[in-house]
Amino acid sequence: MDKYELRILAFTGVILVIFLVSVLRAVNKYAIDLPECIPYDESFTEPQIKQIDDNLYQVFVKSQMWSFEPSEMYFPVGAEVDFYLSSSDVVHGFHIAQKGLNMMAVPGGINKATAKFDEPGVYEIVCHEYCGSGHQHMRAEIIVNYPNQQ
C-alpha cells in the first residue's frame, strides 16, 4: 500500500475517534437521551396515551402523511413521558425543540425516547423530515400544566 494511502487512512481513523469521543462527551455532559430502536410490534402502532403511575406516561405516536396521532397531549408538570414512535407510510421526523428530542419515524420500525416535562407550557412537535406536499402542516402539541387541586 502506498505511504500516502496509509497516512490518509491513519488521519481518517484519528478524525473518526475524535468524532466518537465528542459525541460520547456531549451525550454525557448534556444528559441526552439517545433514541432506542425497539423490536417491531404491531401493538405500538395504535395511537394511545397510557398513564403508568403518578408521573410516568407512555405515548404511542403514529406518524402518517401529514399528521401525528395523538395530536394533542396533556400532562401534569413533572411528567416523564416515553414516546414510542411509528410510521404508517413514509419516513417522518419527530422533534420537540424545547426538549432537544429528535427521532425518526420509520415504516416497519419503532423508536423510543423519553422526555421529562418540569416546566408548564406548550411544547410543539414538528416533523422535520421532508415527507411530501403537506410536510409543513405536520405538527402536534404537548400541553403541560399543574394538576387540578381537589
Residue ranges binding ligand CUA (CB under 6 A) = 66, 92, 127, 129-131, 135, 138
Q: How far apart are CA 102 and CA 113, in angstroms?
A: 8
Q: Pick the closer one to ligand CUA by CB: 40 or 130.
A: 130
**Contact between residue 105 and residue 85 where contact means Cβ atoms under 8 Å apart:** yes
Q: Pick the closer one to ligand CUA by CB: 85 or 144.
A: 85
Residue ranges with strand state E in 4-91:
36-38, 48-51, 56-64, 67-69, 72-76, 79-87
Minimum CB separation of residue 92 from ligand CUA in Å reads: 4
Minimum CB separation of residue 106 from ligand CUA in Å reads: 12
Residue ranges with strand state E in 1-134:
36-38, 48-51, 56-64, 67-69, 72-76, 79-87, 92-96, 101-105, 110-117, 121-126
Minimum CB separation of residue 91 from ligand CUA in Å reads: 8
Minimum CB separation of residue 28 from ligand CUA in Å reads: 31
Cell of 10: 491513519
Q: Write the CA distances from 67 to 46, 63, 81, 124, integer angstroms.
A: 14, 6, 20, 13
Minimum CB separation of residue 101 from ligand CUA in Å reads: 16
Q: Pick the closer one to ligand CUA by CB: 69 or 129.
A: 129
Q: Pick the closer one to ligand CUA by CB: 69 or 80.
A: 69
Q: Pick the closer one to ligand CUA by CB: 79 or 127.
A: 127
